[in-house]
Amino acid sequence: MLKLRSDKKILSDVFNSFVRQLYTKETKLYKGICKPKLFLAKFLATSCKDEFCIDKPTKWPSGKPANFKFHQETETILNEQINTELKAFYHYLSMAAYFGRADVALPGCESFFMQMHHEEHEHAIRFLNYVKMRGGLVNLCPIQPPSDQDWKCPLHAFKTALTLELEVAEKLVAVNAVAEKHGDLNASDFIVTGFMEDQMKSVNEMGRFVAVLSGIGDQSLARFIFDKDLLEHYVQPKFNILRSKLRPNSTDK
């Protein structure tokens, strides 16, 4: 209790010292005020009448963001697109974790799906930033986890990945349709030039992987070769899980 009173006294002394300094500097403006605390109240009450104070305090945030022809329906479907991207992001993370298990040990698949995981996250952030840039409101929805996180084999995982990429592509087409419906050229251009071509490439790539894996079946050697080829030719170095595990003093040959 003694310490609390001491702290309060220190704060009171600091406050009074500040008021006295301000009072001393501005005494000429407020000659009729004798007590420093009354002076401070008067000073704060009249400060907005000063020539330097242009606007009075208003409600924040105002709830009226500035935007140019950004229709509510376009904003809503873009928020849905964020959720679609995050759903794929969540699935790819689950796949990467599965293939990285010690009893599965497919570093190519693990690295590839970790790369896809980062790509979908990047897409979601791009959509989020676009909604903000257009003066819209970002409304995030719950992300549903995969119903079955035992991916069993690469073929099952890549079939699911193909389904996810097709779902993302369909959603992009829907977003573009809504943007065109409301004459939103900027949103339409954002979708078409920023995402559509890359999305078509992803669909094609996943389809090719499914075709190859369907042909090799469950042969262990073929699965090993596929995983090795995936790691060498389809994974960026920064996502290569084997390279990241190398010791700092080791070098690539």
**Residue 43 to residue 26: CA distance in whole angstroms:** 9
**Residue 26 to residue 177: CA distance in whole angstroms:** 64
Q: Is 199 annotated as a binding residue?
A: yes
Considering only CA atoms, which of 199, 176, 196 is closest in space to residue 188? 176
**Residue 143 to residue 157: CA distance in whole angstroms:** 19
Tokens in use for 1? 């209790």
Q: Is 123 annotated as a binding residue?
A: yes
Query: Which uninterrupted H or E stretch holds 244?
Result: helix 241-244
CB count within 10 Å of CB 221 equals: 8
Q: Is 232 annotated as a binding residue?
A: no
Tokens in use for 91? 């699935």
Q: At which residue do the structure tokens 């002076």 appear?
A: 39
Considering only CA atoms, which of 158, 155, 91, 88 is closest in space to residue 120? 88
Please state the residue numbers annotated as binding site for Fe cation. Answer: 85, 120, 123, 165, 199
- What are the binding residues? 85, 120, 123, 165, 199
